Amino acid sequence: MANVVVVGAQWGDEGKGKIVDWLSERADVIARFQGGHNAGHTLVIGEEVYKLHALPSGVVRAGKLSVIGNGVVLDPWHLVGEIEALRGQGVTITPETLLIAENTPLILPIHGELDRAREAAVGVAKIGTTGRGIGPAYEDKVGRRAVRVADLADAETLERRVDRALAHHDALRRGLGLNPVDRAALIAQLRDVAPKILQYAAPVWKVLGEKRRAGRRILFEGAQGALLDIDFGTYPFVTSSNVIAGQAATGTGIGPGSVDFVLGIVKAYTTRVGEGPFPTELDDDDGQRLGERGHEFGTTTGRKRRCGWFDAVLVRQTCATSGVSGIALTKLDVLDGFERLKICVGYELDGERYDYLPTAADRQARCTPIYEELPGWSESTEGARSWADLPANAIKYVRRVEELIDCPVALLSTSPERDDTILVTDPFAD
Distances, alpha carbon 202 to alpha carbons 2, 76, 77, 239, in Å:
24, 15, 19, 27
Q: What is the Rg, in whole angstroms, of the alpha carbon atoms belonging to the chain?
A: 22
Beta pairing class for 326-330 and 306-308: unpaired
Nearest to 279 by CA among 349, 338, 213: 349
Beta pairing class for 29-32 and 65-68: parallel
8 A C-beta contact, residue 9 and residue 410: no
Cα angle 199-205-210, degrees, rounded to a multiple of 5: 95
End-to-end CA distance of the chain: 6
Which amino acid is it at 429?
A
Nearest to 321 by CA among 391, 375, 253, 242: 242
Exactly one of 21, 37, 41, 169 is catalytic; name it.
41
Exactly one of 13, 115, 229, 420 is catalytic; name it.
13
Collapsed DSSP state (helix, strand, coil) of residue 218? strand
202, β-bridge pairs: 101
Helix (H), strand (E) counts: the chain: 12, 18
195 CB-near residues (< 8 Å, 6+ apart): none
Active-site residue 13, yes or no? yes
CB neighbourhood size of 411 (10 A): 21
**What is the C-alpha to C-alpha distance for residues 248 and 10, in angstroms, rounded to an integer?**
17
Active-site residue 41, yes or no? yes
**b/e for 131-165, b at 16 or more Cβ within 10 A?**
bbbbbbbbbbbeeebbbbbbbbeeeeebeebbebb
Query: Which active-site residues does the annotation give?
Result: 13, 41
